[in-house]
């Protein structure tokens, strides 16, 4: 099976498995004061420092949690009583966590947040928070975060950025991003599921999300998952963005072949993640394609993987004003650390054969 669904989750790297197994062999609770507890604390803080350095953040700005969804919920639910502006293309965990009185920031046809619309919305009173993702999980389009941050500063609104899809694919710089909060996770880059973090700018008093013990400086109670967190840190240490450059060159050739046969690639006029292609095969539903490719030995996706296995219409493509019938024929191909040029060549051939067979 050739796996091309890294934006859902990546295969765990062998080095990450080894680091986790080392931790799992020990009874590690960082709140204990005995030898094992001190060892757990040492590993926890080493991981915090390692991950923070890869994001140009301070270690004490990093709060570990269980998933990107948890971090997004924490950031969005911390703001009450005032309006929240949320990009219409956000991950479902942001859209669902935002208050009922949230306002959606429209998208351009290229899949970029509409900056003029954002400024118009910020000019009204009572905006507390803006949430815009660094890179879209379906199209791979990278958002203009410097401009978004500048507008938030101008109108004194907090900025949250879901950077989960950017980690391991493009440089992620919390210090340069201009955000007050940033969500990151390791399992899209070869780390384990179950370890993520909310990066919080020093000086912003974020309310505690889970109450109980004093873990994570009393901001997120619960025994830290030392094994998963250590695996997260190891995955960050192994990131090599040169791998992404090679992957982008392979996908570019694939996209050219698809477009030559009538495929429609989304977001091509905007900056995109180097590992992601969202392409429509007009005349054939994404669901049919997904099943066909699965039978041929390729794991791809029709979009977000956060719908309990259901195949639903893409709110991202809808926000880009893509016609419904075209959006329904879209699939997502996303590669990563284990993807080879041969994988992409073989999938391109499979896509071509599927189109010839299904489109009469």
**Alpha-carbon torsion angle 313, 318, 321, 323, nearest 10:** 10
Residue 210: per-residue pLDDT: 87
Lateral strand order in the sheet of 264-265: 264-265, 276-280, 330-334
Residue 215: per-residue pLDDT: 86
Distances (CA, A) of 94 to 69, 104, 183, 357: 8, 11, 11, 39
**Alpha-carbon torsion angle 153, 158, 162, 167, nearest 10:** 50
Residue 49: per-residue pLDDT: 98
**Quick check: 68 and 162 in contact, CB under 8 A?**
yes
Q: Where are the alpha helices (DSSP H) in the chain?
A: 14-24, 35-54, 68-77, 92-97, 115-122, 145-154, 174-177, 215-218, 226-237, 241-260, 286-295, 315-319, 324-327, 341-358
Residue 217: per-residue pLDDT: 85
The third-level CATH classification (topology) of the domain covering 2-10+241-358 is 3.90.1150
In whole angstroms, give the CA distance from residue 202 to residue 114. 29
Q: Which residues pair with 183 in a beta bridge?
A: 162, 198
Write down the catalytic residue from 23, 65, 278, 306: 306
23 assigned to active site: no
**Quick check: 218 and 208 in contact, CB under 8 A?**
yes
Residue 311: per-residue pLDDT: 60
Cβ neighbour number for residue 306 with a 10 Å cutoff: 15
Structural domain spans, the chain: 2-10+241-358
Q: For each of the chain's 360 residues, which pLDDT tens digit applies?
A: 999 999 999 999 999 999 999 999 999 999 999 999 999 999 999 999 999 999 999 999 999 999 999 999 999 988 876 789 999 999 999 999 887 778 999 999 999 999 999 999 999 877 899 999 999 999 999 999 999 999 999 999 999 999 999 999 999 999 899 999 999 999 999 999 999 999 999 989 899 888 888 888 888 989 999 999 999 999 999 999 999 999 999 999 999 999 999 999 999 999 999 999 999 999 999 999 999 999 999 999 986 555 545 566 899 999 999 999 999 999 999 999 999 999 999 999 999 999 999 876
């Amino acid at each position: 099976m050739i796996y091309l669904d890294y934006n859902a989750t990546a295969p765990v790297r062998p080095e990450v498995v080894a680091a986790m197994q080392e931790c799992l062999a020990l009874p590690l609770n960082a709140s204990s004061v005995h030898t094992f507890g001190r060892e757990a604390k040492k590993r926890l803080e080493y991981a915090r420092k390692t991950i923070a350095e890869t994001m140009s953040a301070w270690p004490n700005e990093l709060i570990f949690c269980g998933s990107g969804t948890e971090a997004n919920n924490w950031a969005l639910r911390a703001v009450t009583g005032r309006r929240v502006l949320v990009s219409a293309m956000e991950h479902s965990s942001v859209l669902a966590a935002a208050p009922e009185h949230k306002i959606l920031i429209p998208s351009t046809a290229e899949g970029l947040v509409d900056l003029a619309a954002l400024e118009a919305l910020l000019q009204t009173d009572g905006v507390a928070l803006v949430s815009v993702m660094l890179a879209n999980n379906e199209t791979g389009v990278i958002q203009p975060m410097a401009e978004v941050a500048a507008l938030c500063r101008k109108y004194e609104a907090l900025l949250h950025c879901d950077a989960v899809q950017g980690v391991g694919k493009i440089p992620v710089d919390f210090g340069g991003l201009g955000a007050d909060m940033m969500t990151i996770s390791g399992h899209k880059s070869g780390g384990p599921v179950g370890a993520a973090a909310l990066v919080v700018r020093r000086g912003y008093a974020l309310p505690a999300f889970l109450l109980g013990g004093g873990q994570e400086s009393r901001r997120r109670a619960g025994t830290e998952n030392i094994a998963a967190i250590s695996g997260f840190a190891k995955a960050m240490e192994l990131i090599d963005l040169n791998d992404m450059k090679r992957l982008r060159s392979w996908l570019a050739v694939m996209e050219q072949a698809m477009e030559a046969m009538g495929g429609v690639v989304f977001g091509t006029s905007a900056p995109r993640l180097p590992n992601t292609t969202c392409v429509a095969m007009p005349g054939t539903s994404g669901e049919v394609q997904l099943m066909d490719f699965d039978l041929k030995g390729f794991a791809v996706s029709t979009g977000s993987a956060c719908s309990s296995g259901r195949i639903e219409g893409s709110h991202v493509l809808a926000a880009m004003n893509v016609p419904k019938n075209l959006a329904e024929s879209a699939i997502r191909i996303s590669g990563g650390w284990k993807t080879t040029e041969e994988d992409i060549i073989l999938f391109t051939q499979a896509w071509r054969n599927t189109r010839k067979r299904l489109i009469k």
